[in-house]
Amino acid sequence: MTGGGSWASMAAGLVLPRGCAGCDAPDEVLCPSCRALFDRTVAVPMPECPMGAAYACAVYEGAVRRAVLGWKDHGDEECDRAFATALCTLAERVDVLRRLGASGKDGVLVVPAPSSARSTRRRGRRHLMPSARALAAWCGRSGIDARVRRVLANAVDGGKAVETVGARGRAARLGGRIRVRGSAGLAGSRVILVDDIITTGATMRSCVAALDAAGAARVVCLALAATPRYGVSAM
């Protein structure tokens, strides 16, 4: 049993062999064919990012949709590891560290996209954190210091927003739905932003605007899955 499993899921595992989170094939957390569905490169146009796009591991449909929903909203924590691996593989494939211009001394911040306080309470956990930690560890293996920082929050959850002025302030207000909880250390930072599902890209753009307003130098966006309107790239 790896870290993160609840007693309930351990107990369930002892009683009932589980099925694949995507297709229900017996005795697998995620079977090889479903795992392969998360080994893709889906580009979502995002002109404000240094790559001109956000990237996702999978197309959000069929078995991918089922597995992601089970993990995100129904507590299937056993998928943490497979999804973290998929995101690290994607980060490698799209050459995130080079695009960030990251070097050892500057370091990288891995920032999970925020969930509302209500969703976090309902889920009983921050489901993106295992993937964020895995991405930070992946940076470390490439010789780049990286830390996970939960600096973003949903604006609806209230609290004190970072002070913003001028054009950047306007961009932040246009972003609107996302706020920075504390801008310390964000000025000049290189950020890997990680989210679960890209639907229209609006949330991710809001996150980028908020990070930009707080002074981030470069933001690269990764997600587990993106809706089918975005095709699989040949990368």
**Binding site residues, Zn ion, CB under 5 A:** 20, 22-23, 25, 31, 34
Q: Which residues of 6-37 are buried (b: 16+ CB within 10 A; e: fewer)?
A: eeebeeeeeeeeeebbbbeeeebbbbeebbeb
Please state, in angstroms and rounded to a whole number, the distance separating the CA atoms of residues 190 and 71.
28
Smallest separation, CB 59 to Zn ion (Å): 15
Q: Name the pairing type of β-strands 218-226 and 190-198.
A: parallel
Q: Residue 228 gets which letter from DSSP? A: T
Select 23 or 137, whichever has its Cβ closest to Zn ion.
Answer: 23
Select 28 or 195, whichever has its Cβ closest to Zn ion.
Answer: 28
Smallest separation, CB 64 to Zn ion (Å): 10
Query: How is residue 46 written in tokens?
Result: 């995002």
Select 63 or 151, whichever has its Cβ closest to Zn ion.
Answer: 63
Smallest separation, CB 17 to Zn ion (Å): 14
Please state, in angstroms and rounded to a whole number, the distance separating the CA atoms of residues 196 and 153.
15
Select 33 or 200, whichever has its Cβ closest to Zn ion.
Answer: 33
Smallest separation, CB 35 to Zn ion (Å): 8
Select 66 or 177, whichever has its Cβ closest to Zn ion.
Answer: 66
Neighbours of 79 (CB within 10 A): 22
Please state, in angstroms and rounded to a whole number, the distance separating the CA atoms of residues 34 and 141.
27
Please state, in angstroms and rounded to a whole number, the distance separating the CA atoms of residues 152 and 74.
24
Smallest separation, CB 22 to Zn ion (Å): 4
Select 25 or 137, whichever has its Cβ closest to Zn ion.
Answer: 25
The H or E element spanning position 156 is none
Neighbours of 157 (CB within 10 A): 14
Please state, in angstroms and rounded to a whole number, the distance separating the CA atoms of residues 191 and 25.
37
Smallest separation, CB 41 to Zn ion (Å): 20
